[in-house]
Amino acid sequence: MKVRTKYYKWSFKRFLTNMFLLTLIVGIGIFCFSIAVKATQEKSIEWITVKPGDTLWTIAVSIAPENDPRNTIAKIKQLNQLTGSDLIVGQNLKIEVIK
């Protein structure tokens, strides 16, 4: 008696479809994970006082050295409703701190 075994024929189209679905599922998982991580970061508002020689650039580098200073400067300007980059010694600035 002959036993017939089924085997699946390799298909490039099926391979590409499976790879696309796998990439899509992994991408959605990474996206959801990154949103969850951002949601768990605590943000608080702190105040700093401008000292002689301070610029938005030096403040941005000192509070967030790992980030692009331009993004930090934009955030400081937005929080303090600044239109320019001029600072006054003794001026209080709001900054957002991620803990």
pLDDT at position 27 over 90:
yes
pLDDT at position 4 over 90:
no
Q: What pLDDT is attached to residue 51?
A: 95
Q: What pLDDT is attached to residue 26?
A: 96
Half-sphere exposure of 63 (CA within 13 A, CB side): 25
pLDDT at position 80 over 90:
yes
Tokens of 10: 């390799």
Cα–Cα separations (whole angstroms), residue 80 to 22, 46, 84, 99 = 45, 12, 11, 20
Better-predicted residue by pLDDT, 97 or 28:
28
- Concatenating the DSSP letter of every residue in 45-67 gives EEEEE--TT--HHHHHHHH-TTS
Number of domains in the chain: 2
Tokens of 51: 């000292």
Residues 25 and 67 in one domain: no
- Specify if 2 maps to a domain: no
Average pLDDT over residues 91-98: 89
Domain range for 92: 42-98
Average pLDDT over residues 52-61: 94
